[in-house]
A and B are shown apart, each in its own frame.
Chain A
Amino acid sequence: MDGFNSFLGALSAMVTSWAIIDVVWATLLGIVVGMLPGLTATLGVALMTTLTFKMGTDQAILILVCMYVGAIYGGSRSAILLNIPGTPANAATSLDGYPLARAGKAGSAMAIATTGSMFGGLVGMVALAFIAPVLAEFALSFGAYEFFWLAVFGVLVAGQLTSLDDPIKGWIAGFLGLFVAMIGREGIHGVPRFSYGSTDLAGGIGLLPAMVGAFGFAEILTVMRQEAYSVVHSRVDSIWGGIRESYKYKMTALRSGLIGTFMGLIPGVGEDMGSWASYAAARQASKNKDEFGKGSVEGLLAAETGNNAAVPGALIPVLTLGVPGSAPAAVLLAAMVIHGIRPGPLIMIESPDFVFSVVAMVFLATIAMGVLGLLLTRPLIMVLRVARERLMPIIFVLCTVGAFAIASRTFDVWIMVFFGIFGFVLRELKYPMAPLILGIVLGDILDKSLRRGLVLSDGDFGAFFVRPISMVLWVSALGFILLTMPSVRKMFTRLFNRDQADKQS
């Protein structure tokens, strides 16, 4: 009840006429960014961070949360109308959304996606309000050993889940991210590493320029490499039928909301897996499995509920552990630090009101997303008619100026360019980006925690394995690695099959 009162208090403090204007334009801009193929939620939040860093903390974070929520939802529009997911989180949406649009039900499909996204956002928001304070208190007992395993667990699990076909590439991306975090003066003795006399490199690699490069410039190169998408001329039916149809599958929506929130909670995994896992679970539980992939309302609803539920889910570890649940959440984490907030276990002691302010921000953004999404169904289709040849140079100018503006350093523009080309090459080689970014965020935590832990245990690495939370984390990480090995998977399948055979006999 205390939590609910704190939420109402934060909401009433936040709802001013200026804040409402900020919510409307930032969410609308987020939807537009998400809709345009090639512009991801991460890029939107990163560029918006560079545009809001001179604003007050609450106003800037509100705008960023609205951009994040709007972009993840907006991606469903292009997935439904063009069969091109606007953001990677909407890939599962296109499986059923596009067949529905081709069958002349584009309006219904967009309404189902909007209803699902709104419901998912609200489920995630409730989880954020309840879990964040509890997890923050629990995390107060974390020491060097636990933080070390948390960083290892985050990189390994994110690497595996974002690269299911080839987990080793996901892990390599994570290790590369951790290495990038090693560049510059280290935090214990102040020794510069891998800087070779350069004062710029000794200052370390900034997360924002790296992310603007990896998600902005790399995306521009990827989009321009591909064939141009065709302009849509889709017939749009009534949206009300879609809302009614969504109501029929309320249990699917609830299950997807919970799965999406849980996937958001896991470091670095985020909205993409939130969507896929919810879609897979809905298919498993559905009576009409055959319809999936051919225009299933249930499938579309599950995918969109799952990805938007992952947004507040991804904010839970950001606020309570200082570990991002997804790539856009990593930018949000960096933005909070820029604005003087210290996300981590102490947040409920240092700024307890802030957690509930974020809950209120998610609530406002979700409501705005739903209202704008339903009201502007037809006008928003116009956005998809913007030619990439005219959009991409402006995005690149924003990437360049945005990277420069954070610290007024030309060096950051070079970092943006380097990570853009590096990210493009990695994508072409099928290496995922999310573990790379998670590695950059977690590198410092891993480095300091390992060395402090070794000092505390006087070099005994065994101390890292025996504390209860450490044990849970390392056993889970090891389990994840073992499950990627075909021989171990086969062994499990055989054991499972034998058990079933015994029961049957």
Chain B
Amino acid sequence: MKPTQMDRLDFVSSIVLTIFGIAILVESLRMPRLENLKVNQFTVPGIVPGVLGLLLAVCGFAILVRSVKRGGWRLGITGQDTAAWVTSAPVQRSAATLGLTLLYALVLFPHVPFNFSTPLFVFAFVVTAEAMALGRWPKWQAMVTGLILAVLAGLIIGYVFQQLFFVRLPGG
């Protein structure tokens, strides 16, 4: 039987999951037992995480066995396939979305004033996403609409949270 894409993904993810479950189990066993405080042995902090680690490892191993039976271990990755995957439109759209959102959430939002960072992010996102959808730069009318949307979004969201809800946004 020819393995499906999901069988291959299950093979890789179940290895990660099994190792993760074992790591939780080991960490739970290393948790303090509080013998010096003479606490009841059944209330030690590691009991529930330990059981969860064991369950995750067992379930992960079950998926691993299933994916091996279905031939998921034959990953069949070739350079050509990888290149085609990387250059495919969905992957490029995902990568651009991920890059821009991470840049905003982890760099711009905490460090740059909100009224500047937010319009910048919204405008960059709109232009990039429309350019990827069209396969060329958007027309100037679309760019202007994007800019107006970006400025308005920054002003309205900033006003609602800062002036109405008294939230002090980071970024100075």
Residues of A in contact with B (beta carbons under 8 Å apart): 51, 53-54, 168-169, 171-172, 175-176, 178-179, 182, 186, 188-189, 191, 193-194, 217, 220-221, 224-228, 387-390, 392-394, 396-398, 400-401, 404-405, 408, 410, 413-414, 416-417, 420-421, 428-430, 446-447, 450-452, 454-455, 458-459
Interface of B is mostly: helix
Contact across chains for B149 and A390 when beta carbons are under 8 A apart: yes
The complex places the Cα of A7 from the Cα of B160 at a distance, in Å, of: 34
Q: Judge whether B49 is part of the interface by a CB distance below 8 angstroms.
A: yes
Contact across chains for B49 and A400 when beta carbons are under 8 A apart: no
The complex places the Cα of A404 from the Cα of B109 at a distance, in Å, of: 10
The complex places the Cα of A345 from the Cα of B152 at a distance, in Å, of: 46
Residues of B in contact with A (beta carbons under 8 Å apart): 6, 9-10, 13, 17, 24, 27, 31-32, 34, 37, 39-43, 45-49, 52-53, 55-56, 59-60, 62-63, 90-91, 93-94, 97-98, 100-102, 104-106, 109-110, 114, 118, 121-122, 125-126, 129-130, 133, 146, 149-150, 153, 157, 160-161, 165-170
Contact across chains for A172 and B149 when beta carbons are under 8 A apart: no
Q: Max chain B CB contacts within 10 Å: which of A191, A393, A394, A404? A: A393
Besides the known contacts A194-B27, A454-B43, 15 further A-B residue pairs in the complex with CB atoms under 8 A apart: A168-B63, A172-B63, A175-B55, A175-B59, A182-B49, A228-B133, A397-B121, A398-B157, A400-B109, A404-B169, A408-B168, A414-B106, A429-B6, A455-B40, A455-B42
Q: Which 6 A-B pairs have the closest CB atoms?
A: A454-B42, A393-B125, A389-B129, A224-B97, A191-B45, A393-B122
Contacts of A188 in B (CB 8 A): 43, 45
Closest residue of A by beta carbon distance from B127 = A389
Contacts A224-B97, A416-B105, A417-B102 given: A459-B31 contact, CB under 8 Å?
Answer: no
Closest residue of A by beta carbon distance from B117 = A397
Contacts of B129 in A (CB 8 A): 224, 388-389, 392-393
Contacts of B130 in A (CB 8 A): 387, 389
- How distant is B102 from chain A, measured CB to nearest CB, in Å? 7
Contact across chains for A168 and B13 when beta carbons are under 8 A apart: no
The complex places the Cα of A225 from the Cα of B89 at a distance, in Å, of: 8
Contacts A193-B49, A228-B133 given: A394-B39 contact, CB under 8 Å?
Answer: no
Contact across chains for B170 and A404 when beta carbons are under 8 A apart: yes
The complex places the Cα of A414 from the Cα of B122 at a distance, in Å, of: 20
- How distant is A177 from chain B, measured CB to nearest CB, in Å? 10
Contact across chains for B105 and A417 when beta carbons are under 8 A apart: yes
Contacts A175-B56, A191-B31 given: A459-B49 contact, CB under 8 Å?
Answer: no
Contacts of A226 in B (CB 8 A): 90
Closest residue of B by beta carbon distance from A430 = B6
Contact across chains for A410 and B166 when beta carbons are under 8 A apart: no
Contacts A447-B48, A450-B47, A451-B47 given: A400-B104 contact, CB under 8 Å?
Answer: yes
26 A-B pairs with C-beta separation under 8 A: A168-B59, A172-B17, A175-B59, A178-B52, A188-B45, A189-B43, A193-B45, A194-B49, A220-B97, A221-B98, A224-B93, A389-B125, A393-B129, A394-B153, A396-B125, A397-B118, A398-B157, A401-B157, A401-B167, A401-B169, A405-B165, A413-B110, A416-B105, A454-B42, A455-B43, A458-B42
Contact across chains for B170 and A410 when beta carbons are under 8 A apart: yes
Contact across chains for A51 and B48 when beta carbons are under 8 A apart: no
Contact across chains for B56 and A179 when beta carbons are under 8 A apart: yes
Contacts of A458 in B (CB 8 A): 42
Contact across chains for A429 and B9 when beta carbons are under 8 A apart: yes
Contact across chains for A397 and B55 when beta carbons are under 8 A apart: no
Contacts of A405 in B (CB 8 A): 161, 165, 167
Closest residue of B by beta carbon distance from A226 = B90
- How distant is A333 from chain B, measured CB to nearest CB, in Å? 21
Contacts of B167 in A (CB 8 A): 401, 404-405, 408
Contacts of A176 in B (CB 8 A): 56
- How distant is A133 from chain B, measured CB to nearest CB, in Å? 32
Q: Of A179, A217, A394, A428, which is within 8 A of B52 by CB?
A: A179
- How distant is B37 from chain A, measured CB to nearest CB, in Å? 8
The complex places the Cα of A130 from the Cα of B118 at a distance, in Å, of: 48
Contacts of A401 in B (CB 8 A): 109, 114, 157, 161, 167, 169
Contact across chains for A396 and B42 when beta carbons are under 8 A apart: no
Closest residue of B by beta carbon distance from A409 = B170
The complex places the Cα of A421 from the Cα of B95 at a distance, in Å, of: 12
The complex places the Cα of A162 from the Cα of B146 at a distance, in Å, of: 39
Contacts of B146 in A (CB 8 A): 390
Contacts A189-B34, A451-B42, A455-B42 given: A182-B52 contact, CB under 8 Å?
Answer: yes
The complex places the Cα of A169 from the Cα of B45 at a distance, in Å, of: 27
Contact across chains for A392 and B125 when beta carbons are under 8 A apart: yes
The complex places the Cα of A171 from the Cα of B55 at a distance, in Å, of: 9
The complex places the Cα of A169 from the Cα of B118 at a distance, in Å, of: 38
Contacts of A404 in B (CB 8 A): 109, 167, 169-170
Contacts of B166 in A (CB 8 A): 54
Q: Of B40, B121, B169, which is within 8 A of A393 by CB?
A: B121
